[in-house]
Structure formats: C-alpha cells, structure tokens
A and B are shown apart, each in its own frame.
Chain A
C-alpha cells in the first residue's frame, strides 16, 4: 500500500506523521509506505509572518528542516509534482520521475494573488511571504503619520488576519507614540466587520473604542498610488495601504485542471476528491467553504490519517471531518481571544485576555511539536 503525500506544509506534515505512527507495524513489515513530495526542504511557520511584519519575530525563527519534522519511516523528496494522473494512480515530478500510489493526499496549499487586483501589488504592504513581511516592517518604521487603510481580498488565508493586522497596527503606532497622527481605516468585503457574526459583534465596538473607522461591503476593484476603488463604487484614500490579498490555490492544481482557482472540489466530510475514492485533499487546497487556516488543515489531517489507517487495517473509514476550526485572535493591547466552531456549532468568542495572548505567543514556539504530531 503506497501512500503519497503531495505538499510538506502543516496539513501534509501532520497527516504523514500521524499516519506513520498509526501504521508503524505495516511500515516495518514492508506492507505500507509513505512518501512525501514537497517543493522545499524547509518548513515555514506561516502565522509567524504577521509578527515579522511588526519586528516581533525574526525570519529565522519561522523555519525548520522539513526532514527534521518527519517520522524516520517517511520517505521525503524535494521534487514537486508537475502532473497528476489521478485515473492512472500516479504523478510525475519536476525531475521527470513517476510515482505510483494506492492512496494520494494533496496538500499543496495556497498563495497570494495580489496581481489579480490592478495596482494592489505595487502600492500595498502585505505580509504573506518573508520578503513581503520584512518590506512591510521597513515601511512601517518609516511611516510618520497619515491615513492607513486595511483592504481585504477574497478568498484569503487566515480569516482573523484582517482584524489582527488592524489591532496590531494600532498597538504598533501607540508604542511608537504616533497613534494620534494616524487614522486607521478598516474595510471588509461583506456587510459587517468580520465574517463570523459573533466576532463582528465583539470587534466593532473595539474599533469604536480605539477610534478605528470602518467601511463594510468594500471589495477592491483597483488601486492607484493614493486610493482604493471598490467594486461597490466607493473610494478610500490612503497614505499607507495594508492588504490581506486574495488567494489562489497553487499553479500546479490549475495547470492540471483539478479545480477552479487552484482549489480542488472536495467532499466536506470524507475529504476525498469528488469522483475518486483514493484521492484526498486537505488544508487550503480544498474548495470547502470553510476557513483557510492552519487549524483547519490540522484537524482535517488528523481525521484523514485516522480514516486512511482504518481503511488499511479494517477496510473502512471510521469518522467524518466535522468542519472543526480553531483560530486565535490577537486583539491588541497584549490581549487575545479565540474562535472555535464546526459545521454545526457557531463560535462564541470570549472576552480577550492577556493569558490567551501569552498562550498564542507560546504556541508560536510549540507549533513544531504540533507539526510533529505531538500536540
């Protein structure tokens, strides 16, 4: 039984490690194998980029060697897939090698697509890559006051990022002693300040308290050097533009016609690709209408690993993915809260506390245990 994991991010890594432990006897006996194909020999802790943008983490804290995170029974290759032949149960890689499989899990992730909005990439700060986060930090350091607009594309990775970046901007300018010279203006695509109603009800009064203005039903259409023009016909002038840009799935998914926008049609409970019983998708790569977040990938990976192992051992999956998501929310002023929800139960975020902020700060270090499947 050859299991192929394509993608070495959070979802793929947790799944492979979880599966390796569940199938340890089968792996030792040569009755099963797990191979991971990735585009990089490094593993990045992506949520840390938000802190890099504010100079609160350094880039070297975000990386580990991928092989150091994996169970030794997993075969790891830096050889990205270029061709998926799902009907023939094989993939072809950049090196030209063909990998046959019995079960495949695709967890290639997503990427920013700022270039999809004219003028956005040239004019806005963003923080979804190391280079962009460092550039944003330098831009913030040189900013002495004016109107700061936060603009959000759809879909985007990490649903809490728009709120977090706004509260952290307020903190940053307060710490520099120039908050009174800054007007923070938050825009959001739908008719309230966050997609989760309970979070929106908490955040809006916080904006009012902090003097942060906001405009909802604001979707970026075009960006010029001094203003953002919305699909809805309004404009927001800025001196500094910070964006959570829209995202797409990876190019290889689009090139193989596996899903529009690079997101693969996925069964919401079994996590298989629609039409295939031995091909699965986790993390940002799915087209599921749920949060694109590390925790989503984590919970999907745990469910799928259990189901793949049980299918090999007893011939059937044993549980459904229930849509579970858990997101920390940095609330500024040294406090944080969280939102936890699934397909059936909406979130009920509590009042932000310093304790949760410190737990989130600790998680920035504990993540590596999580990726190894120990947490």
Chain B
C-alpha cells in the first residue's frame, strides 16, 4: 500500500537534501510519496529538476517558517 514518508533534512549540509531524497527514493515503492523537509532554499530548485529529469512526479512545494516542504511521488 502506498504511503507518504517524511524525510527530515533540515539543517544538514552533507549529503544534503537532494542526495538524501535520492537514497530514500531507491528504498521506496512505486506509488509512495516522500515529503522532504529542507532549510536549503536551493532544494526548491534542484529537487524538482532531478524529479523531472528522472521522470518521477512533483506533488507539492511550499515554504513554511523557513522550511521547504517538497512532496514527490515515485512513479517508476
């Protein structure tokens, strides 16, 4: 059954939010959603770029009190 998993990458520099997401996506099942939390504004750009390049699905992106919430769905 598909589920949404929270990935807390706030205040981390290495490996950083995108690398963390890539690792988590490998372990996720097709259809799962991952919500990654990041305090790195660059994540709002580079995560969607990677998601689109690989062909997964962007579900939502929003910023709340300095934390970016980026929700993606594994499609393949």
Contact = CB atoms under 8 A, between A and B. Distances in A.
Interface of A: 116, 154-155, 159, 189-191, 195-197, 217, 219, 231-233, 246, 260-261, 268, 289-291, 323, 325, 339, 341, 343-344, 346-347
A323 B12 CA distance: 8
Interface size of B as a range: 20 to 34
A159 B14 contact: yes
Contact of A189 (B13, B19, B27): B19
A118 to B, nearest CB: 13
Contact of A196 (B11, B14, B17, B42): B14
Given A154-B26, A195-B14, A289 B50 contact: no
A346 B50 contact: no
Given A195-B16, A289-B7, A325-B14, A260 B27 contact: yes
B54 interface: yes
Contact of B19 (A154, A341, A343): A154
A196 B15 CA distance: 7
Chain B binding surface, main DSSP class: helix
B20 interface: yes
Nearest to B22: A154
12 contacts: A154-B15, A159-B14, A159-B15, A190-B16, A191-B18, A195-B13, A195-B19, A261-B23, A289-B12, A291-B15, A341-B14, A343-B11
Main secondary structure of the interface of A (DSSP, over half): loop
Interface of B: 7-9, 11-20, 22-23, 26-27, 42, 46, 49-50, 53-54
Residue of A190, A339, A341 with most chain B CB atoms under a 10 A cut-off: A190
Contacts of B18: 189-191
A327 to B, nearest CB: 8
A190 B46 contact: yes
Contact of A290 (B12, B23, B49): B12
A310 B39 CA distance: 33
A231 B54 CA distance: 6
B49 A195 contact: no
Nearest to B17: A289
Given A232-B54, A289-B9, A189 B22 contact: yes
Contacts of A217: 49-50, 53
